Structure 1
Amino acid sequence: MSAASCPEPTPAERARSVLTAAESLTVTTHGHRVELIGLHTVDAAARLLLNNPPDGHLAAELAMAPRGDLTALVEFTDVAPVAVRERVRARLTLGGRLTVLGPKALVFHPARAVLTENDRTAVLGLDELAHSSPDPLATHEAEMLARLDAAHSDTVAPLARLLPAKRQLGACEVRPLRLDRHGLVLRSQTPDSHHDTRLPFATAATHPGEAVRQIHILLARATARPRRRRLPTRS
């Protein structure tokens, strides 16, 4: 399967995955910029339910808003769970309005989204977000990538044999970067650059157990290939 034909999540699906897996976000209004850690959830319509931060700045600003809502930006940064060069994988910015949900909660109603990753920017409408679902591995990805990296010599090093020859020969290090239902992305790093290669699964994984099985299939393919040279191991 060529790189061009490898299936991968759509920008809207990636945005929903970032929303679902993120531990923190930043809310910016006309008067404040507040970082929230572990204080939000996402509903089926892609609305963000925010626990009111302890300092109460957002609630106070809302209380003074003439129409009872505030124009706001909500920003997410998707960071690779494994130590690689340029760890920021994506940035997601939502524009919309913030309202009061209850005495201790706020709700953010997104109207648009901008997803930036791989040097590309996608502008998404509310319908695209609402009608897309997060990847089924989104909340498990960080742990699964960390486990792959911890067992580098038994997993990532053999899988690196599936990389194109030019990526193998020039690499001083290969690390797992991304995992979704369609496959695993490895980052091959040279002293002054890096390249990302998707290893597609034979069939899409609908849960972590199926993803593990698909990784084992990739490993079987990799170990059946002759080695081009000794591939770099993790330092």
Structure 2
Amino acid sequence: MGVRQIASAVPTTATRARSVLAAAWSCGVTTDVGQDDLIGAHRVREDGTVRIGPPPDSVLAAAVLCSPHGRPTALLEFADAAPVPVRDRVRSRLFLSGELVPDGEDLVLRPARAVLQTRTERLGIPLGELAAASPDPLALAEPRLLTHLADAHPEAVEQLTRLIAPDSLHGVVRVQPLAVDRHGLTLRLERTRGQADVRIPFHSPADDLTALTERMHCLLASAQAVTRRRR
């Protein structure tokens, strides 16, 4: 099952892709020579440009030596994994393909294609939109925010399920916070067999941590009101 959205306000595909880029610490690189998994070897500039410093003993370094003018074509893969332990932990994968061009000691990707793949869809991203987009303002803070919510406030996570239609909770054995962005919070509903994701929207975008705290308090207050009505 995919993500059930209670409201339509969601990040654009380009914003989601830029968020994956901003938060990723590693990337997979596939060239004609072979495949590498590089950790801490890439940087992303504000305009979305991806720069890679290929380790001397890497397959990527060999690809540079073997390619004409030291410009290998490559497929870069960035995985977006949920910070909280859940089934099917990889939420999406971003694929960028193109030519890697030497710039000093780095290689700079000249993208020809960008694709964001989720559990339910594969979305092509116009390169102009990707370059113009910015990461979600909560992207870098998301891992510690969700980990804190899951570890320190499990009762709040349970309370938030009051905002979900009761029939969607049938058979649910565990609920975990899966994702958060400026527009809302997504919960993973795990059943004995299978799972579903439900998105709970904020009443307005949260562009910083102060605003996020207020939006979460509003959601909890709404959940408490639902609890009182059902008694």
Q: Distance in 2 between matches of 1:160 and 1:133?
A: 31
Structure 1 residues 153 and 124: alpha-carbon distance in aligned structure 2, compared to 1, 3 A threshold: closer
Moved over 4 A (4+): none
**2:181 paired with 1:180:** yes
CA distance in 2, matches of 1:187, 1:127: 33
Q: Which string of whole-angstrom CA distances, capped at 9 and with x for unpartnered residues, describes residues 123-145 of structure 1?
A: 11211210111111111111100
1:207-226 deviation digits (Å, cap 9, x = unpaired) = 12211221111011112222
Contact kept in structure 2, 1:46 and 1:110, CA below 8 Å: no
Q: Which residue of 2 aligns with 1:204?
A: 205
Task: Specify which of 65, 68, 81 is matched with residue 66 of structure 1.
Answer: 68
Query: Which structure exhibits the higher relative contact order, with contacts defined as CA atoms closer than 8 Å and separated by 6 or more residues?
Result: 2
- The residue that corresponds to 1:115 in the other structure is 116
Query: How far is the alpha carbon of 1:227 from its aligned partner?
Result: 7.0
Q: Is the 8 A contact 1:111 1:125 kept in 2?
A: no
The residue number in structure 2 matching 1:232 is none
Aligned counterpart, 1:130: 131
Distance (whole Å) between structure 2 residues aligned to residue 58 and residue 153 of structure 1:
44
Paired with 2:210 and 2:39, the residues of 1 have a C-alpha distance of 29
Cα deviations across residues 182-206 of structure 1 (Å, max 9, x unaligned)? 0000111111121111110111011
In the aligned structure 2, how far is the partner of 1:55 from the partner of 1:91? 26
Normalising by structure 2, we get a TM-score of 0.91
Work out the CA distance in 2 between the residues paired with 1:211 and 1:98. Answer: 38
Partner residue, 2:10: 8
Could you tell me how far 1:6 is from its partner in structure 2? 2.6
Whole-angstrom distance in 2 between the partners of 1:53 and 1:85: 33
Say whether the 8 Å CA contact 1:145–1:177 is kept in structure 2: yes
SS state at 1:178 partner = strand
Unaligned residue ranges in structure 1 (runs of 5+): 230-235
Question: Counterpart in 1 of 2:46?
Answer: 44
Cα pair distance change 1:42/1:138, threshold 3 Å: same
Identity of aligned residues (%): 44
Corresponding residue for residue 57 of structure 2 = 55
Distance 2:151 2:226 in 1: 23
Distance in 2 between the 1:135 and 1:180 partners? 6
Deviation per CA, 1:62-95: give whole Å up to 9, x if none.
2342233111000111111111121110011111
Distance change in 2, residues 1:99/1:225 (3 Å): same
Q: Does 1:154 align with 2:160?
A: no
How many angstroms does 1:56 deviate by?
A: 4.6
| TM superposition shift of 1:150 | 0.6
Task: Name the SS for the 2:178 alignment partner.
Answer: strand
**Deviation sequence 1:83-120 (CA, Å, 0-9, x none):** 112111001111111121213x2212222111111311
Cα distance change of structure 1 residues 140 and 151 upon mapping to structure 2, 3 Å threshold: same
Amino acid at match of 2:198: T
Letter in 1 for 2:27: L
1: CA distance, partners of 2:170 / 2:147:
25
TM-score of the two chains, using structure 1 as the length reference: 0.90
**Maintained 8 Å contact 2:171/2:192:** no
Partner letter of residue 101 of structure 1?
A: D
Name the SS for the 1:174 alignment partner: strand
Question: Which structure 2 segments of 5+ residues have no match?
Answer: none
